[in-house]
A = this chain, B = another copy of it.
Amino acid sequence: VDRAETRRRFANARVAVLATVGPVGPHVVPVVFVVDGDRVYTAVDHKPKRSSRLQRLRNIDANPAVSLLVDGYDEDWNRLWWVRVDGSARVVSSGYASHGLDLLQQKYPQYRDRRPGGPVVVIAIERWVGWSAT
């Protein structure tokens, strides 16, 4: 899979898994996201949360290294693919945040009437890794 196709598959996906490193091990949570050049944006939104002090944000504060995975599972294992992005995350709340929220609202109709209110996570992409079974 070439570089452009790898990026396209990732950017077009509707959901990714965000992995961070916690105090004792890895933490993973699905996120909706948007790609803008070499950055990925994801936001804390109105979807119900298990806790108001989100583990993902605490982890990023302590260790900004994150990975995002988009998985193209298929029962025909010759058609499997995935794309992983490794990068450095930070939690933002002003100009960057507003730009990310605009892009998220463009990608997801679910956000159009309900702009996410929480902190925005910006991930500076450091590595693209694409894999395909064929």
Contact = CB atoms under 8 A, between A and B. Distances in A.
B65 A29 contact: no
Interface in A48-92: 48, 50, 63, 65-69, 71, 73, 75, 77, 80, 82, 84, 86
A27 B69 CA distance: 9
A26 B65 contact: yes
Contacts of A75: 14, 110
A4 interface: no
Interface string A10-42: 000011010111001111111000000000000
B110 A15 contact: no
A131 interface: yes
Contacts of A77: 47, 110
A133 B73 contact: no
8 contacts: A17-B19, A19-B19, A19-B26, A19-B27, A19-B28, A29-B82, A47-B133, A48-B133
